[in-house]
Amino acid sequence: PSRVLSGVQPSGALHLGNYLGALVKFARLQHEIDTFIFVADMHAITVWQDPAALAQQTREIAAAYIASGLDPDKATIFPQSAVREHAELAWIFNCVARLGWLDRMTQFKEKSGKHKERSSVGLYTYPVLQAADILIYKATHVPVGEDQKQHLELTRDIAAKFNHDFGAPGGASAFFPQPEPLIQGPGARVMSLRDGSAKMSKSDPSDYSRINLTDDADAIAQKIKKARTDPEPLPETLDELSARAEADNLVGIFAALSGQTKAEVLAEYAGKGFGTFKPALAELAVEKLAPVGEKMRGLLGDPAVLDAILAKGAEKAREAAAPTLSEVKKLVGFWGA
């Protein structure tokens, strides 16, 4: 049986990269596969989060999920911290994963920067909790942006080592599946609007580097107008495009928003300059994103409804997670399991 799982951290405003790399894919998959989508609040506190704001940030992510098409009657939407099985499995996985595996994680190196010794221990074991998020539901498919690829590889390594170390005797060793990352299409890696070599990110100090899901039509249009480009018209071929990072990124965003391939976008815009392409992109972005922001604002106007959705989702998630954890405890040999 297939099952989708993914999550987003409630650690700041969501942007176009989160939307195209993850959120739109969740909404698409829910029709085909049993889908679990959570708010990664335990991951968020690996760096400081204001306790007075965290619960509201969690509601904002839930609102963004629903505004981008996730249906709470179809998909299970819940806060990670409300399902304690994630944390319990993460501890066991901390004892399965090897230090050497975590030492290779590039995201920790980026996020800890020059001050490794002052980072939280949670930031270091972050990918182990992520593996628990996925495997507690025995999820088979994980829709994420390109930046999560290495974490998914680690998840697969942890699953394989757990199966090897604790798998039931007699060959029934595939206790955990090997989850497949779903990293597809031109939206899987959206770059900064100011720098085609940096990914669009919540933590970039320049708000002009990203389009936030809550930006209004004017802000979206302004940011695209000011986006960095080169003076050349758009090329004929993907090869030529790939040598021009900023142009490549804007064409990719256009393709992802319109549901086309980059080649299809080039077929329409090759030979045209950014004076033509940028207004078309701005119009498309406003058409697709403005309603999402509006819907988010509407949902956030009634927090009780969001809270009821999260509570019901948490209950369903616990029902799915509990049997996996009790089997794991038996396999590990814990007393009473």
DSSP 8-state secondary structure symbol assigned to residue 225: H
Is 43 strand, coil or helix? helix
Active site residue 111: yes
Given the complex with ligand TYM, which of 153 and 233 has the nearer CB atom? 153
Does 251 engage in binding with ligand TYM (CB under 6 A)? no
Q: How far is CA 308 from CA 52, 79, 179, 190, 323, in A?
A: 20, 12, 30, 33, 24
Binding region for ligand TYM (CB under 6 A) out of 17-25, 90-98, 164-172, 284-292: 17-25
CB of 181 to ligand TYM, least distance (A): 9
Give the DSSP H or E segment for 258: helix 245-258
Instruction: Choose one: 89-97, 142-150, 273-281, 294-302; the region binding ligand TYM (CB under 6 A).
Output: 142-150
Q: Of the ranges 137-145, 167-175, 267-275, 311-319, which one interacts with ligand TYM (CB under 6 A)?
A: 137-145
User: Positive or negative CA dihedral for 210, 212, 218, 220?
Assistant: positive
Residue 107 CA to residue 176 CA, distance in Å, equals 25
Closest CA to 78 of 262, 294, 311: 311
In the region spanning residues 106 to 135, those forming contacts with ligand TYM, defined by CB under 6 A, are 130, 133-134
Query: Pick the catalytic residue: 25, 199, 223, 288?
Result: 199
Of 199 and 267, CB closest to ligand TYM: 199
Q: How many residues interact with ligand TYM (rule CB under 6 A)?
A: 25
To the query of whether residue 329 is one of the catalytic residues in this protein, the response is: no
Give the shortest CB-204-to-ligand TYM separation in angstroms.
10
Nearest to ligand TYM of 188, 221 (CB atom): 188
For residues 297 and 61, the answer to whether their CB atoms sit within 8 Å is no
Q: Report CA dihedral (283, 286, 291, 293) to the nearest 10 degrees.
A: 180
Is 202 a known active-site residue?
A: yes
Contact positions with ligand TYM (CB under 6 A) in 177-236: 188-190, 199-200
Q: Using an 8 Å Cβ cutoff, are 39 and 58 in contact?
A: yes
Choice from 4, 39, 40, 182 touching ligand TYM (CB under 6 A):
40
Distance CA 143, CA 21 (A): 8
Q: Cα–Cα distance between 240 and 230 in angstroms, integer? A: 13
Stretch that binds ligand TYM, among 15-23, 96-104, 164-172, 220-228 (CB under 6 A): 15-23
The Cα–Cα gap between 332 and 64 comes to: 38
**45, 82, 92, 142: residue in contact with ligand TYM (rule CB under 6 A):** 142
Which of 3, 4, 7, 309 is close enough to bind ligand TYM by CB under 6 A?
Answer: 7
- β-bridge mates for residue 199, sequence order: 191
Catalog residues that contact ligand TYM under the rule CB under 6 A: 5-9, 17-18, 21-22, 40, 43, 130, 133-134, 142, 144-145, 147-148, 151, 188-190, 199-200
Catalytic machinery residues: 111, 199, 202
